[in-house]
Structure formats: structure tokens, C-alpha cells
Amino acid sequence: MTDTAGHSFGPSALATPANALTVARLLAAPVFVAVILNRGASWWTVAVGAIVAGTDGADGWIARRQGTTRSGAFLDPLADKVVVLSALFLLSYLHTLPWFPVVLIGAREFLMSVYRAWIGRHGVSIPARGSAKIKTLVQDLAIATCLIPPLAPRHTLQLVMIWVAAAITIFTGLQYLIDGRRAARSEPA
């Protein structure tokens, strides 16, 4: 067993402890969806969701101490999107959440991923914003209101949370579009 406490990884590293946690979160998304489907609003579902969400904070903490990587910068938001969107779309399919705000969130996430890839091909990088973490947290809270047993029957709370999540998601998308335009203008031709 190797000690990685004092180890630092370069930006091109792929096999890092932080990336391992991120990949584990990505692979846990179908498990989380299966638990939601089979258990619904239950403390078991909450526990699985908390573990999956907790790896997001843990991988970031490890990456900041051992060195962030380009692969981690790609994998971490991908894992966030897969976990959140799969849960949101399932909750809409189960008629727990309305489709429209969930589709807005999904469309923003898809379009922003395409935009970041397109602008990245032109040599422009859009750094992550702190508001993106807030967006993910609010999306997680919207999901939690559907899965925590005492909150599950509170449909008004769920409606408020999913619309707040949709609004923040759209707002952060606009922030990234503005950031991308600014970054593209400041790049040398």
C-alpha cells in the first residue's frame, strides 16, 4: 500500500485518489437510481445518496491537497451531472417532480457541456465558478426533498426547490456564457 499523504500529482495525471473517488461516484449513479426506484423515499435511499454526494466533497478535498488534474476537471463535473440528472429524470418519471424544470436543468447541462467543449477546441478555457458548487448543492437539496421520508409528502417544498434549482442552473449557465465570451476576447488571435 502506498502512502499518498505527501504525494503530489501533476496536471496530466490520471490515476489519482481523487479521480478514483470521482469514477466511483460515476459508477454509483446507477446504484443510486436503482435504490430510488426500489426503495423510494426512505432512510436507506438517503444514506446511499449521502454517500454518493459525499464523495464529491471528498474528491475535491483530496485533489486540492495532492494536485488538481485535467482529467479530474473533466470527470468531476461529469459525475455530478450523471448523478443529479439521472435522479432528477427518474423522479420526474415517477411523477414526484414536474418535467419542465427538470428538462430545463438537463438542457442547460447538456448545452453548457457542448459549449465548453466547443470553446475549448478554440483554446479557451472557462474556469469553474463557486456558483457551480452552489448550483449542484441546490440540485442535491431538491432531490433530497423527494427522498427524505418526512419531506417526501411536502410537494409544495419540492416544487419550490426544483424551480429554485432550475433558476440557479440557468443563471450559472448565463455566467459561463459571459465568462466564455470574455475569455475568447482576451485570447491572442
Q: Is the separation of the CB atoms in 52 and 25 below 8 Å?
A: yes
Cα gap 29→52, rounded to integer Å: 8
Report which of residues 44 and 180 the model is more confident about: 44
Task: Give the residue, 83 or 12, on which the prediction is more confident.
Answer: 83
Residue type, 177: L
Does a structural domain hold residue 11?
no
Contact assessment for residue 90 and residue 40, using Cβ atoms and an 8 Å cutoff: no
Q: Is residue 109 part of a domain?
A: yes
Position 7 in a domain: no
- Is residue 69 assigned to a domain? yes
The model carries a pTM of 0.84
- Which of 64, 62, 53 minimizes the C-alpha distance to 25? 53
* Count of domains for the chain: 1
The CATH number of the domain where 87 resides is what?
A: 1.20.120.1760
Find out whether 109 and 135 touch, Cβ atoms under 8 Å. Answer: no
CA 171, CA 177: separation in Å to the nearest integer? Answer: 10
Q: Is 39 exposed, middle or buried (CB count within 10 Å of its CB: 0-12, 13-18, 19+)?
A: middle
The predicted-structure confidence for 67-78, as pLDDT tens digits, reads as follows 666 665 667 778
Highest mean pLDDT among 13-17, 33-37, 130-134, 176-180: 33-37
CA dist 22 and 56 (Å) reads: 7
